[in-house]
Amino acid sequence: MSALDAALQFARDNHPRFLDEYRALLALPSISTLPEHKQDVLDTADWVAAQLREHGMTEVEIVPTAGHPIIFASWLGAPGKPTVLVYGHYDVQPVDPLNEWESGPFAGEIRGDYIFARGASDMKGQIFAQIKALESLVKTGQCPVNIKYMIEGEEEIGSPNLQPFIEANLDRLKADFVLNCDAGIHSPDVPAITYSLRGLAYFELEIRTAAKDMHSGLFGGSVYNPIHVLAELIAGMHDAQGRVTLPGFYDRVRELDAEERALLQRVPYSDERWQTMTGTQALYGEAGYSTIERVGARPTLEVNGIWGGFIEEGAKTVLPARASAKISTRLVADQRPEEIYGILKAHLETRMPAGIDWRLHQHSCGAGAIMDRKSAYMQSAEAALKTVFGKDPIFKREGGSVPVVSMLQQKLGIDSIMLGFALPDDGIHGPNERQYLPNFYRGIDTYIHFLLSL
């Protein structure tokens, strides 16, 4: 039996155990943004590190950072072969609104072909499929390449401590390319490789118009209402064509050329499917671009949260003193996230009425990235997908942000192969996040094929 067949057979024989372990991983509520889950995050790091140790990694370390730790592991027993740096994250998003989950967000309930849990798709399911591919290779022979792991616990809060870690470990992280598992395909029948990612710059704006909340009857109509001011500002951030109005926002944006627009045209897409996926009755976006272009190749600005005044049940006749919003921008290649704070701030300075206190805070930022669609490693990934799925993968641009991709491009000088098996309708970051289980198993097979073909 070839090394390939042996590994594939081992994986197949162990599907039930792999699924049990996957559910055990999903049961750990590693919500990185909520301080009360700090210990859960640590427990998850331990759990993942134990897996890597068990599957032959010679060096496994849980490296403390100023926030949540980073797992580093390596095995360099394949001289002459390429060195792959596997990237992933073991943290997850919060689970609110909790009442919209049909089963517990950490229960890992299986309904039909899906497993439901926070992190099932983003991205415990992906990194764990890769680890199970490693196990299948190691337990039936040995890993065919030199391999390193860098699995962080702060991706969902913008990876604040990843760059310092990378800068302090440039030699240790040295590799030929990155296998980034935080990725997805287009649909169960359409394998895909993402070659472009959007960057992110996330802000919080607080507006304060008065020293304290007031009675809306006694003072309403005589002073600024911070909610009105905030609403005006937010309304003014887009024009009637759905374009962002911040001066300078589009200055560095790389416009799509005809060749790439044609390539993106090949991504299977229908309005109907998009609306079903999002549960919307209407699509809306920047004029002059298709939906695929809007989410992959165009920068956007979204308000992620807003609050002010009385927000409990009932009626309180308060004229609030403060209102706040979380505002994030998604950036495309060539836009510089570190410039966006200044662009937003300048816009607000122009629009803000006089006599109002306000504060703009930057939560996080990371650049977008574009990878070479024709590199040798990209071709190996393409072939592995074709073999497992029986179809040529499409190449696509991803609307989400994976800041580590541009970070590793800049710091280590290496490209990332985005190879993961999440689906667009997995509901990541929302309630009832799920993973399509057949993709979990095909993912294991694809990683086996890929690593053996290098």
Within 13 Å, how many C-alpha atoms sit on residue 340's CB side?
Answer: 31
C-alpha to C-alpha distance for 30 and 40, rounded to whole angstroms:
5
Number of neighbours of residue 278 by Cβ within 10 angstroms: 11
Q: Which is nearer to a second copy, 1 or 240 (CB)?
A: 240
x/- string (CB under 8 A) for a second copy, residues 77-96? ----------------xx-x
Of residues 334-353, those binding a second copy (CB under 8 A): 353
Structure tokens that stand for 188 in this block: 């169960």
Q: Is 158 in the site for a second copy (CB under 8 A)?
A: yes
Q: Is 188 in the site for a second copy (CB under 8 A)?
A: no
Q: Which of 13, 20, 54, 100 binds a second copy (CB under 8 A)?
A: 100
The helix or strand, by DSSP H or E, that contains position 17, with its residue range, turns out to be: helix 15-26
1 vs 9, 107, 135, 362, CA distance in Å?
A: 10, 38, 17, 55
Select the span of 161-169, 287-295, 338-346, 438-446 touching a second copy (CB under 8 A): 287-295
Q: Is 272 in the site for a second copy (CB under 8 A)?
A: no
Q: Enumerate residues 6+ apart whose C-beta is below 8 A from 386.
A: 191, 392, 393
Q: Which is nearer to a second copy, 323 or 419 (CB)?
A: 323
C-alpha to C-alpha distance for 249 and 258, rounded to whole angstroms:
23
Burial of 98 (0-12, 13-18, 19+ CB in 10 A): exposed
Q: How far is CA 426 from the centre of its chain?
A: 13
Residue 9 CB, nearest approach to a second copy (Å): 35
Q: Is 318 in the site for a second copy (CB under 8 A)?
A: yes
x/- string (CB under 8 A) for a second copy, residues 223-262? xxx-xx-xxx-xxx-x---x--------------------
Q: Which is nearer to a second copy, 44 or 159 (CB)?
A: 159
Residue 148 CB, nearest approach to a second copy (Å): 27
C-alpha to C-alpha distance for 271 and 154, rounded to whole angstroms:
34
Select the span of 8-16, 186-194, 248-256, 315-323 touching a second copy (CB under 8 A): 315-323
Q: Is 288 in the site for a second copy (CB under 8 A)?
A: no
Pairing outcome for strands 192-197 and 394-398: parallel
Q: Which is nearer to a second copy, 13 or 96 (CB)?
A: 96
Residue 127 CB, nearest approach to a second copy (Å): 18
Q: How far is CA 70 from the centre of its chain?
A: 17
Q: Which of 67, 337, 427, 443 binds a second copy (CB under 8 A)?
A: 427
